[in-house]
Amino acid sequence: MSQSGLREVEHEITVAAPAAAVYRLIAEVENWPRIFPPTIYVQREAQGENTERIHIWATANGEAKTWTSRRTLDPERLRITFRQEVSAPPVAAMGGTWIIEPASDTESRVRLLHDYRATDDDPAKLAWIDEAVDRNSRSELAALKENVEAAHAAEDLTFSFEDTIRVNGSAKDVFDFVNEAQAWPERLPHVATVRFEEPSPGLQELEMDTRAKDGSTHTTKSYRVTFPHERIAYKQVTLPALMTLHTGYWTFAEDDAGVAASSQHTVTINTANVARILGADATVEDAKKYVQGALSTNSRATLGHAKDYAEARA
């Protein structure tokens, strides 16, 4: 660390994929929640020629944080530089560079550089950032390697679906029902208990126990990002046995006829548990149908109760 309090660190990994393919994956921020474990949601807020401003919600050492960054993309040199525009304490400033270097036609070296400083140049805060950057960098690079190298298999195991209902009410009331998850045990029969926190406005931690048709309960934890009264995006971080990924969003589109309320899911099947959960003869397609059925049942139940709530208030 220099006398100015600036820390500079570097992490790297070798990926069995062409450098250009790795670059594209990093450049497409909308896929980050599916690629990088700490990332909850990313929204592109402004875009110019090879520059963009993005808003990121992610976890650091188990705490949900949010910040905005500006990025400069250099597809010819396979580099992406980034600088946090508004950092979240204890970070005072943060930036860095992704550098992708061809090792061969089928392999590349990915280097992730960071420079940062702590608020008040506090040593304890700097140690916290050191740990968060090291953990997230290792996690991001390992996930990047896994997802690039298994891209074809992941395509076969990953799928999305959406359920939509019409509501004769306002988007605000439907949004409020889904947003106020702390009230779900009283409002939703399939929700047994909820542990809900909102560490900062619009950023939520939601852990809940839900009841299955057979009477058993399952615990899941999600981070949610809310955009009143239009969208609630989420990433599930404690997953049922049949999934290795579950992201999604609720949307509330108001028009002259009322509201189109939708629940979208993106899921990756955990093949290691298919036989144990569904039987020795079960296939990935069986698992997809089972998971979609379970998630759609809960989503449509939630949307149905939200519809009743909003229409009663209309």
Q: Mean pLDDT, the chain, as a whole number?
A: 92
Alpha-carbon torsion 212, 215, 217, 218, what sign? negative
Cα 276 off chain centre by: 27
Mean pLDDT of 49-68: 89
Q: Write out the two tokens for 145.
A: 């390697």
Sheet holding 231-238, edge to edge: 158-167, 258-269, 243-255, 231-238, 217-227, 203-211, 191-200
Kindly tell me the burial class for residue 260, based on how many C-beta atoms sit within 10 Å of its own C-beta (0-12, 13-18, 19 or more).
middle
At CA 246, angle to CA 308 and CA 169, rounded to 5? 20
Q: How far apart are CA 267 and CA 245, in angstroms?
A: 5
Mean pLDDT of 14-34: 88
Q: How far apart are CA 137 and CA 124, in angstroms?
A: 20
Cα 151 off chain centre by: 18
Which pLDDT band holds residue 2 (cuts at 50, 70, 90)?
very low
Q: What is the pLDDT of residues 69-115, one digit of tens each?
A: 999 999 999 999 999 988 889 999 999 999 999 999 989 999 999 99
CATH node for 6-155: 3.30.530.20
Q: How far apart are CA 219 and CA 299, in angstroms?
A: 16
Mean pLDDT of 199-216: 88
Residue 136 pLDDT exceeds 70: yes
* Parts of the chain belonging to CATH 3.30.530.20: 6-155, 168-312
Q: Which CATH code of 3.30.450.20, 3.90.1150.10, 3.30.530.20, 2.50.20.10 fits the domain covering 168-312?
A: 3.30.530.20
